Amino acid sequence: MIYRVRHETLYLYSEPVATSHNEVHLMPRALPRQSLAKFELRCDPTPETVAWHRDYFGNDVVFIAVNEPHERLVLRTESRIDLRGPAPIDAERSPAWEAVAARVRRDRDPAWLEAFEMVFPSTYVPVSEALAEYARPSFASHRPLAAGAIELAHRIHTEFRYDPAATQLATPVEEVLRQRHGVCQDFAHLMIGCLRSLGIPARYMSGYLRSAPPPSETGSAKESADGAFVGAEASHAWVSFFCPENGWVDADPTNDLVPCEGHVVLAWGRDYEDVSPVKGVRLGGGGHEMRVAVEVRAEPPACAD
């Protein structure tokens, strides 16, 4: 499936900004199932410096410096992506979760070492007994890892309420667990914390979700009134957990599904701090307002001559 993604981030400042430096994670990753056919980035005002690099996790990052007075900053990207669904997995035939949790602490194979980095607490994801306790009903003794993780995502979907006004970036995961509401970022952090608290490697996925599901998937996930998935029309977040033989397997607790052909990957890391779409510093500006608009549309198939 070919998708066209348009993303606009607008900052409005109450006072002039003398200079601003920003780090941007808005270029989709090149993956075996995700090919980037086009990517354009535009900034207004025109930046003095645009410098690309690849971060520790292999994400493409651009540094943008605007060194002229400005009262608004606009970042626009347009991407065209060829996205293919991952190979299906048999969740019930995956290894027992305890075996994975034990092996990841001792195996020094490069793939397992990479996974081991995702067992520890991070800026927005704690490891705690409270999170382990919430996870345990999905992880009975010797239960297959993928089956337990998918059930955990389902429980978060059904037991928590999606509420954009309920939390902020700094809201602790433990508070989300107590209050039982939040947004996709909160649910991703919560699920990652639950898995890590059991010793299971899990990472934070940042990207986009198609603006509307195909007819075959309508009703298979939590949708808004107009049929779009929850998390569309904005940056989206979900989870990836390490499952031997299958590698990293994605799960979207906000929409109660295993991502297939509608999740576009921008970046991954330990949590939001590693992969925030735009973050930076500025001199001046006073207060500010941020507006984000995202559109993900499938291109119609080409007609045969």
Residue-wise pLDDT tens digits, 9-67: 999 999 999 999 999 999 999 999 999 999 999 999 999 999 999 999 999 999 999 99
pLDDT of residue 213: 54
pLDDT of residue 220: 41
Residue reference for tokens 């990052």: 61
pLDDT of residue 235: 86
pLDDT of residue 156: 98
Structure token pair of residue 80: 């065209």
pLDDT of residue 216: 42
pLDDT of residue 212: 59
Is there a contact between 29 and 58 (Cβ–Cβ < 8 Å)? yes
CB neighbours of residue 140 within 10 Å:
11
List Cα–Cα distances, 243 to 3, 84, 237, in angstroms: 28, 20, 19
pTM of the full structure: 0.91
Closest CA to 85 of 282, 258, 286: 258
The number of residues making up the chain comes to: 305
pLDDT averages per 10-residue partition of the chain, 305 residues? 94 96 96 94 97 97 96 97 88 96 96 97 98 98 98 98 87 95 96 98 95 47 48 80 94 93 94 96 93 88 54
DSSP string for residues in 205-266? EEEEE-SS--GGGTTSS-B-TTSPBTTTTS-EEEEEEEETTTEEEEEBTTTTB---SSEEEE
pLDDT of residue 261: 81
Closest CA to 172 of 136, 131, 202: 131
